[in-house]
């Protein structure tokens, strides 16, 4: 579980909640008193959403997906879709606070103005939202403020004329072997059509865990050179890629992965009960609550919209 928790949540398996991080495993054990037996027999999962795309994915046995132009084209396409239908998308407008008006509407304070809304769907990190809420929502703010997040450095390396010693999606690294390297994704194996021309071997090294937390606590300068050196050393030691890469991209994503620590489900339950009891026109969505992956966030947004519209989540 150590490697799995590091690979998915960049976290410590001793601190994370299996119930919240891997609900299918938890449900399997609860139903059949055995994770393996539960997975084999099925854990009585609720009906899954259905669509033409989902049926295609099941029929073709997809294990992962990407987009031809990269995942950044997803928010770009969403922006185009929304603006073409008259939706206002405000950029460079930091939200400074939320306050409730006498008539029950929200006043959203922005960097250079404000707007009013009948309902707010928040997809920002829980800890960020906790600092925006008004005094009337102090119990909710306290619960959300305890949902922490960790940082991850992502290093993309490309090698000319190199070959991997193994085939697969990638590998995860237990903390006992390398506290800094979470895992390496073999991008050229997973999505060879994105190798470019001339083709080169692409891998992505993910750095984080206690190593990065220690550096942050010490106030160490987190330079691109530091992460590139660490990533190249990992690629050389674990995959035999000893030559210098032809291309390298380094991105440090600060506080990017929420941590579902022990008791996370109780925090969500308390938040849900408070919103219901106070009848606050606020819906929580995003990675801080029930899944950190892209698919989880898409589903979270879909369900949030359905709740606001009063529709069935699967409709």
Q: Residue 116: what pLDDT?
A: 96
Instruction: List the structure tokens of 122.
Output: 């928040």
User: Is the per-residue pLDDT at 105 higher than 70?
Assistant: yes
Per-residue confidence at 36, pLDDT binned at 50, 70, 90?
low
H or E, element range at 308: helix 294-309
User: Is the per-residue pLDDT at 28 higher than 90?
Assistant: no
User: Is the per-residue pLDDT at 315 higher than 60?
Assistant: no
Class of domain 94-147+260-309: alpha beta
Place of tokens 């922490």: 148
Distance CA 120, CA 132 (A): 12
Interval 262-268 mean pLDDT = 97
Instruction: Look up the pTM and report it.
Output: 0.88
Q: Residue 275: what pLDDT?
A: 96
The neighbouring-strand residues paired with 258 are: 149
Listed range (5-9, 59-63, 239-243) with the worst mean pLDDT: 59-63
b/e 63-96 (16+ beta carbons within 10 angstroms → b): eeeeeeeeeeeeeeeeeeeeeeeeeeeeeeeebe
Q: Residue 102: what pLDDT?
A: 86
Interval 21-40 mean pLDDT = 74
Which CATH number does 149-258 carry? 3.90.660.20
User: Is the per-residue pLDDT at 52 higher than 90?
Assistant: no
**Apex CA 263: angle with CA 261 and CA 266, to 5°?**
135
Interval 80-84 mean pLDDT = 97
User: Is the per-residue pLDDT at 263 higher than 90?
Assistant: yes
Interval 151-166 mean pLDDT = 95
User: Is the per-residue pLDDT at 148 higher than 80?
Assistant: yes
H or E, element range at 151: strand 149-159
Domain ranges of the chain: 2-44, 94-147+260-309, 149-258
Q: Residue 209: what pLDDT?
A: 84
Residue 9 has a CB neighbour count (10 Å cut-off) of 24
What is the share, in percent, of the chain residues with pLDDT greater than 90? Answer: 72
Residues with Cβ within 8 Å of 111's Cβ and at least 6 positions away in sequence, in order, are: 92, 93, 94, 96
Distance CA 14, CA 9 (A): 12
Place of tokens 């947004």: 301
User: Is the per-residue pLDDT at 42 higher than 80?
Assistant: no
Instruction: Report the chain's mean pLDDT, rounded to a whole number.
Output: 91
User: Is the per-residue pLDDT at 58 higher than 90?
Assistant: no
Per-residue confidence at 47, pLDDT binned at 50, 70, 90?
low
Instruction: List the structure tokens of 196.
Output: 């470019």
User: Is the per-residue pLDDT at 38 higher than 70?
Assistant: no
Residue 152 has a CB neighbour count (10 Å cut-off) of 20
Q: Residue 64: what pLDDT?
A: 82
Distance CA 150, CA 208 (A): 8
For 174, phi and psi rounded to 5 degrees? -70, 150
Instruction: Pick 304 or 61 by higher pLDDT.
Output: 304
Q: Put the strands of the sheet holding 247-258 in their side by side order.
A: 170-172, 181-185, 201-207, 149-159, 247-258
Per-residue confidence at 240, pLDDT binned at 50, 70, 90?
very high
Distance CA 296, CA 307 (A): 16
Torsional sign, CA 303, 45, 126, 173: negative
Per-residue confidence at 65, pLDDT binned at 50, 70, 90?
confident
Q: Residue 40: what pLDDT?
A: 65
Q: What does DSSP assign to residue 45?
A: P
Instruction: List the structure tokens of 55.
Output: 């049926």
Interval 29-57 mean pLDDT = 70
Per-residue confidence at 139, pLDDT binned at 50, 70, 90?
very high
User: Is the per-residue pLDDT at 46 higher than 90?
Assistant: no
């Amino acid at each position: 579980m150590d490697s799995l928790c590091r690979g998915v949540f960049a976290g410590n398996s001793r601190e994370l909640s299996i119930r919240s991080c891997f609900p299918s495993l938890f449900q399997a054990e609860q139903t059949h008193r055995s994770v393996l037996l539960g997975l084999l027999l099925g854990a009585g999962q609720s009906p899954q959403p259905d669509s033409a795309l989902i049926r295609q994915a099941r029929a073709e046995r997809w294990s992962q997906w990407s987009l031809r132009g990269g995942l950044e084209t997803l928010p770009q396409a969403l922006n185009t879709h929304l603006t073409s239908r008259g939706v206002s998308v405000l950029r460079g407008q930091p939200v400074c606070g939320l306050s409730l008006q006498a008539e029950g509407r929200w006043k959203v304070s922005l960097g250079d103005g404000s707007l009013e809304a009948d309902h707010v769907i928040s997809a920002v990190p829980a800890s960020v939202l906790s600092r925006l809420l008004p005094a009337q929502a102090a119990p909710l703010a306290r619960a959300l403020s305890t949902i922490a997040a960790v940082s991850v450095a992502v290093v993309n390396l490309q090698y000319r004329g190199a070959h991997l010693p193994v085939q697969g999606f990638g590998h995860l690294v237990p903390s006992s072997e390398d506290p800094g390297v979470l895992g390496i994704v073999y991008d050229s194996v997973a999505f060879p059509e994105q190798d470019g021309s001339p083709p080169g071997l692409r891998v992505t090294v993910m750095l984080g865990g206690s190593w990065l937390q220690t550096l942050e606590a010490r106030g160490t300068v987190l330079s691109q050179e530091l992460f590139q050196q660490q990533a190249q050393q990992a690629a050389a030691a674990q995959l035999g890629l000893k030559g210098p890469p032809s291309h390298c991209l380094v991105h440090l994503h600060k506080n990017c992965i929420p941590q579902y620590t022990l008791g996370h489900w109780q925090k969500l339950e308390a938040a849900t009960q408070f919103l219901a009891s106070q009848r606050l026109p606020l819906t929580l969505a995003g990675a801080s609550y029930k899944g950190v992956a892209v698919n989880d966030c898409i589903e979270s947004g879909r369900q949030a919209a359905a709740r606001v519209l009063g529709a069935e989540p699967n409709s």
